[in-house]
Amino acid sequence: MENLFQLGDHEDFFSRRCIWVNGPVIVGAGPSGLATAACLREQGVPFVVLERADCIASLWQKRTYDRLKLHLPKQFCQLPKLPFPEDFPEYPTKRQFIDYLESYAKHFEIKPKFNECVQSARYDETSGLWRVKTVSSIRTEVEYICRWLVVATGENAECVTPDIQGLTDFGGQVMHACEYKSGEKFKGKKVLVVGCGNSGMEVSLDLCNHNASPAMVVRSAVHVLPREICGKSTFELAVLMMKWLPLWVVDKLMLIMAWFVLGNTESYGLKRPSMGPLKLKNSMGKTPVLDIGALEKIRSGDIQVVPGIKRFSCGQVELVNGQKLDIDSVVLATGYRSNVPSWLQESEFFSKNGFPKAPFPHGWRGKAGLYAVGFTKRGLSGASSDAMRIAEDIGNVWKQETKQKKKTTRACHRRCISQL
Ligand SMILES: Cc1cc2nc3c(=O)[nH]c(=O)nc-3n(C[C@H](O)[C@H](O)[C@H](O)COP(=O)(O)OP(=O)(O)OC[C@H]3O[C@@H](n4cnc5c(N)ncnc54)[C@H](O)[C@@H]3O)c2cc1C
Ligand SMILES: NC(=O)c1ccc[n+]([C@@H]2O[C@H](COP(=O)([O-])OP(=O)(O)OC[C@H]3O[C@@H](n4cnc5c(N)ncnc54)[C@H](OP(=O)(O)O)[C@@H]3O)[C@@H](O)[C@H]2O)c1
């Protein structure tokens, strides 16, 4: 226990359950945490996964709508070491993806510690160890002590709910897109959908399909691309073209192809940003919308496109152009944010917005055994490559040190709860 006794603030240390983890602690059991755990398992490195929810992939299981499908072809969405089943369609449904993740966790014997929300994590310089404090749903506090910390809490950990003037006086139903399941309950209702990212577009489409009347707030420019061009995934085409052509050329070609398939989106109130879709994604992290039918509904007038919001009042919204709309409900499809700054006490590797400071591809490894997986704004394929790198990095050190330890057999009294 020599390392543990060297830790600072002793009183705090002895007042809660304290567990030594032989290997890394992974925070988050979403696709990123699971992929890292699976790759560590293959390297023979033990680990512990801490998850605030009561299930794996809680974003997918609890905070997404029913009609959701992966919007990239399946080969770009599977996690390392275990492909999707062959009979999966090109764009797996949310249920299929969750089933795959469940079998993935089972296959690699990943058993996260559920209902454990990480409250804080800090590096203890004296001992050279990470101290990770959690609180469980029954308010029990536990402190995990480990040498490596893998942050896998996701780019979309918390909902962004903007403070819009008068929203509290509105009186009707207001929900974030993460609570929206289906348009069934909105039949015949006038719904204001705030935001025109992939969520705003798909929620608006779903509302239409359930005979509701959505008005979608588009306050700035947005790139809408078809999900497929001539039967080939737009994303796949872009990946292919980028092997041969510079990014700005690919951007130009994408926009020409989008124009042929979708027409001039500006004529429907969807102004395009001056920067191309791929450059915008790479530099600002803003994902283009991959259209799966919303544009057709905008064209037909079933989805009304409206400008930014000035204020809400009882049963009404006033827009920046002075127009007033009577509405029954509001869906805030206003996006998500990382929650890392709320619990990780570190400011060198992560910036204030909860993303690693180093640009891609350098944002996966920090100092003192700190790692980040799934923060490159490259979706599931980005998370998979981070996971493989992290596991290899930790695995190399692990193998070297366990070889040495076998030679110099030392007594070890630490309580080990790792899953190996
Ligand atoms: C509606 C929607 C659709 C999407 N569709 C696609 C798609 O088709 N393709 C694609 O590539 N990407 C898509 N994404 C992006 C999505 O973020 C990734 O697919 C994927 O979920 C990222 O995995 P992750 O593990 O990094 O994050 P998450 O899936 O968010 O998992 C993070 C986990 O960490 C847990 N956690 C957070 N904070 C704590 C804490 N303090 N303590 C303990 N646990 C914590 C969370 O409960 C969660 O289970 C979509 C996102 C949304 C919102
Ligand atoms: N099928 C799929 O695979 C699928 C489906 C849904 C989501 N996703 C993914 O999930 C992630 C999140 O997507 P998202 O659509 O939820 O969020 P998002 O891409 O961040 O979009 C948020 C939208 O809300 C708008 N907004 C924010 N605050 C506003 C305000 N006060 N007034 C008016 N508009 C406001 C933004 O406008 P500005 O641009 O002006 O800020 C933007 O249009 C993305 O990576 C996305 O690709 C994927």
Q: Whose CA is nearest to atom 23 of ligand 2?
A: 195
Angle value at C-alpha 232, between 226 and 238, nearest 5 degrees: 70
Q: How does residue 282 score in pLDDT terms, banded at 50, 70 and 90?
A: confident
Class of residue 410 by CB neighbours under 10 A (exposed 0-12, middle 13-18, buried 19+): exposed
Q: Which residue has the tokens 């897109």?
A: 177
Cβ pair 174, 167 in contact under 8 A: yes
Beta bridge partners of 55: none
Centre of ligand 1 from the C-alpha of residue 273, in Å: 27
Extract the tokens encoding 137: 């749903």
Extract the tokens encoding 32: 């990123």
Greatest extent of the chain over all pairs of C-alpha atoms, in Å:
78
pLDDT at 240 over 80: yes
Beta bridge partners of 18: 143
Pocket perturbation via mutation, ligand 2, pick of 199, 284, 310 by most ligand atoms within 8 A of CB: 199
Pocket perturbation via mutation, ligand 1, pick of 27, 39, 59, 118 by most ligand atoms within 8 A of CB: 59
Mean pLDDT along residues 359-376: 95
Q: Which ligand places an atom closest to the C-alpha of 203?
A: 2
Answer whether 178 contacts ligand 2 (Cβ < 6 A): no
Q: How does residue 411 score in pLDDT terms, banded at 50, 70 and 90?
A: very low
Answer whether 117 contacts ligand 1 (Cβ < 6 A): yes
Answer whether 162 contacts ligand 2 (Cβ < 6 A): yes
Mean pLDDT estimate for the chain:
92
**DSSP letter for each residue of 186-218:** GTT-EEEEE--SHHHHHHHHHHHHTT-EEEEE-
Q: How far is CA 231 from CA 150, 267, 296, 345, in A?
A: 39, 25, 18, 48
Which helix (H) or strand (E) segment holds residue 48: the answer is strand 48-50
pLDDT tens for 109-162 read 999 999 999 999 999 999 999 999 999 878 799 999 999 999 999 999 999 999
Q: Which residue has the tokens 């296959």?
A: 107
How much of the chain, in percent, has pLDDT values that exceed 70?
92
What is this structure's pTM? 0.93
pLDDT tens for 304-340 read 999 999 999 999 999 999 999 999 999 999 999 999 9
* Among 76, 70, 77, CA closest to 91: 70
Rounded (10°) CA dihedral 242, 243, 244, 248: 20
Do β-strands 149-151 and 370-372 pair in parallel, antiparallel, or remain unpaired? parallel
Q: Whose CA is nearest to atom 12 of ligand 2?
A: 335
Centre of ligand 1 from the C-alpha of residue 338, in Å: 10
pLDDT tens for 293-304 read 999 999 999 999
* Among 357, 360, 384, 352, CA closest to 370: 357
Lowest mean pLDDT among 57-66, 148-157, 282-291: 282-291
Answer whether 58 contacts ligand 2 (Cβ < 6 A): no
Centre of ligand 2 from the C-alpha of residue 286, in Å: 9
Centre of ligand 1 from the C-alpha of residue 30, in Å: 6
Cis peptide before 361 (omega within 30 of 0): yes
Cβ pair 79, 35 in contact under 8 A: yes
Centre of ligand 2 from the C-alpha of residue 197, in Å: 4
**What confidence score (pLDDT) does residue 406 get?**
63
Centre of ligand 1 from the C-alpha of residue 98, in Å: 12
Centre of ligand 2 from the C-alpha of residue 328, in Å: 22
Centre of ligand 1 from the C-alpha of residue 215, in Å: 27
Atom of ligand 2 nearest to the CA of 335: 17
